[in-house]
Structure 1
Amino acid sequence: MWSEVFSHPWHPTEDFTHLLPENPPEYRDVFSEYAREIGTLMNRLLSLISQGLGLDEDCLLKRLDGVTGLQVIKDGKWVPVDPVPGAFVINLGDQIQVMSNGRYKSVHHRAVTNKWLPRVSVAMFYAPNDETVIGPIEDLIDEEHPPIYRSYKFKEFMEEFYRQEGNRRRVKEAFEM
């Protein structure tokens, strides 16, 4: 399966607006507001997951030091964002499973398409920087819960992700102990 994608970066503390398209004229303002809200949502979710694991509320946020980016995909071709309502999916991915030492499980991402209606995906990615070390959080490891995964840099994860292209990806399994 192939796709063409419109994408650009965004970060909650750095100004990337000069990288955004100038047309349509309101795009920069609308996207900036959307990105701020998504950033707030992600911070809240990471806080709740941290607390659910019995950790400080900012534990995962500090460890991920995330950057975000937007991608718009329509049936393999980029299109302007269409305001048609759709499903809302939050995919926190394999890193949460690894850092939680398997207490939270990631799921295989699936999308349903059909031959009658086009599908537009607007994905906002929240990922660590390349040098961020991902591994089981020490406070979640003890004699009853030994580490399931080895620590790795996020760039290693992405290299493995692209290496498995064309297959049913099982990236986190490559880092199992």
Structure 2
Amino acid sequence: MDKMLRASQRFFDLSEEEKREYAGGKVLDPIRYGTSFNLMVDKALFWRDYLKCHVHPHFNVPSKPHGFSETVDEYITKSREVVGELLKGISLSLGLEENYIHKRLNVELGSQFLILNFYPPCPKPELVMGLPAHTDHGLLTLLMENELGGLQIQHKGRWIPVHALPNSFLINTGDHLEILTNGKYKSVLHRAVVNTKATRISVATAHGAPLDTSVGPAPELVGDENPAAYRAIKYRDYIHFQQSNELDRRSCLDHIRI
């Protein structure tokens, strides 16, 4: 885990010219370096640089710095193993067979995104956000960060700081897990704040269905007493919708809620 954090720092230490080689303009570009969430719709830039890579089922990462791609490959492979075990536990918790989610959504060929976030010190952190309130697309997101912290989750209308623990993952449940489980598992509304003292780096791996798979409530979790709460939507279309609109809490889920 430390190795991945160090590799992330080395990428952001590249010259701006080198990093701009990976600047992308489209939501699903295989590799995309930039600032803010969506430059086309955001009203303001956020105090953050990022690198987003679509790393599974096809492996796309920058060739710089030296050794970066090898470190990423090792890290994302281990991350998929962790998520695989978590999804088995979630299936069992719903009274379904252990591999239900894997089979239902073809998880072995599912999408995995690597997102590196770089939040430098900010002279006036009360005036900006690192990343505004949002939920994640997909099933589960594994988040690792250096020891500075900065993540907050919303609970009962209040923002609660999440204190970073060394060598640990924070697991965020995503929108598509909420859709698939018909609301039994809820996606987590969260945001990132910045500080005046030091740079925060976080490494997220987001795991979901194949892009062209339609995700709706599992038939086994729907009935007369529990009608479907969401309409099915193709994973690719959901991502485009989410990232073509200003981040606004749970607007994407609300869009497909029945």
Q: CA RMSD in A?
A: 2.3
SS in 2 for 1:116: coil
Structure 1 residue 34: deviation in Å?
A: 1.2
Matched, 1:102 2:145: no
Aligned residue number for residue 148 of structure 1: 229
Deviates more, 1:45-54 or 1:122-131: 122-131
CA distance in 2, matches of 1:15, 1:129: 11
Aligned counterparts of 2:216 and 2:199: Cα–Cα separation in 1: 39
Work out the CA distance in 2 between the residues paired with 1:84 and 1:100.
Answer: 32
- 2:65 is matched by which residue type in structure 1? N
Moved more, 106-115 or 145-154: 106-115
CA contact (8 A) 1:63 1:132 kept: no
1:100-123 per-position Cα deviation (integer Å, ceiling 9, x unaligned): 111111121222321222211211
Task: Give the letter for the 1:23 counterpart.
Answer: P
Residue 75 of structure 1, CA deviation = 1.9
Distance 1:98 1:15, change over 3 A: closer
The normalised TM-score by structure 2 is 0.58
Which residue of structure 1 lines up, in the alignment, with residue 86 of structure 2? 45
SS of equivalent residue, structure 1 residue 104: coil
Call closer, same or farther: CA 1:139–1:176 in 2, change over 3 Å.
Answer: same
**Does residue 52 of structure 2 align to residue 7 of structure 1?**
yes
The correspondence for 2:59, drawn from 5, 12, 16, is 16
Calculate the TM-score normalised by the size of structure 1. Answer: 0.81
Instruction: Give 5+ residue unaligned stretches, structure 1.
Output: 77-82
Judge which range, 37-46 or 57-66, deviates more: 57-66
What is the Cα deviation at residue 169 of structure 1?
Answer: 4.2
The one-letter code matched in structure 1 to 2:66 is P
Where does the alignment leave 5 or more consecutive residues of structure 2 unmatched? 1-44, 121-144, 150-163
Aligned position for 1:34: 75
Q: Which residue of 2 aligns with 1:131?
A: 212
Structure with the higher strand share, 1 or 2: 2
Distance in 2, Cα, partners of 1:20 & 1:84: 22
* Alignment match, 2:118: 74
- Alpha-carbon distance change, 35 to 166 in structure 1, aligned in 2, over 3 angstroms: closer
